[in-house]
Amino acid sequence: NAGVTQTPKFRILKIGQSMTLQCTQDMNHNYMYWYRQDPGMGLKLIYYSVGAGITDKGEVPNGYNVSRSTTEDFPLRLELAAPSQTSVYFCASRLGTASNTIYFGEGSWLTVV
């Protein structure tokens, strides 16, 4: 199993550009998550999904969109990038029971200039 795979690892965007962060997991996990982490801060939940076709907002959803058309993929779309979206983004997944481990990707470092 590759686990949770995020691409790209690094990206520089100009203000106003749009991009998609890709996240794929091969563990047949129901739940998937997107977090952002600003320097020296904790993880903030952007969006999450409990299954294909189901998504919901987290703590900081503004400026982002997601979709979950398959169990494996959970892309995060940034529309009209702003400097405030400069951050490290982590994708995570887990099965649906409370005892299941959460698996994280390695992160995507995004800079908006």
Residues interacting with other proteins, by CB under 8 A? 31, 33, 35, 41-43, 45, 48-50, 56, 58-59, 90, 92, 96-107
Minimum CB–partner distance for residue 4 and other proteins (Å): 8
* Cβ-based nearer residue to other proteins, 13 or 92: 92
**What is the chain's Cα-based Rg?**
13
CB 46 within 8 A of CB 36: yes
User: How many whole angstroms separate alpha carbon 85 and alpha carbon 10?
Assistant: 14
* Cβ-based nearer residue to other proteins, 19 or 45: 45
Q: DSSP label at 101?
A: P
Where do we find the tokens 């294909």?
52
* Cβ-based nearer residue to other proteins, 31 or 78: 31
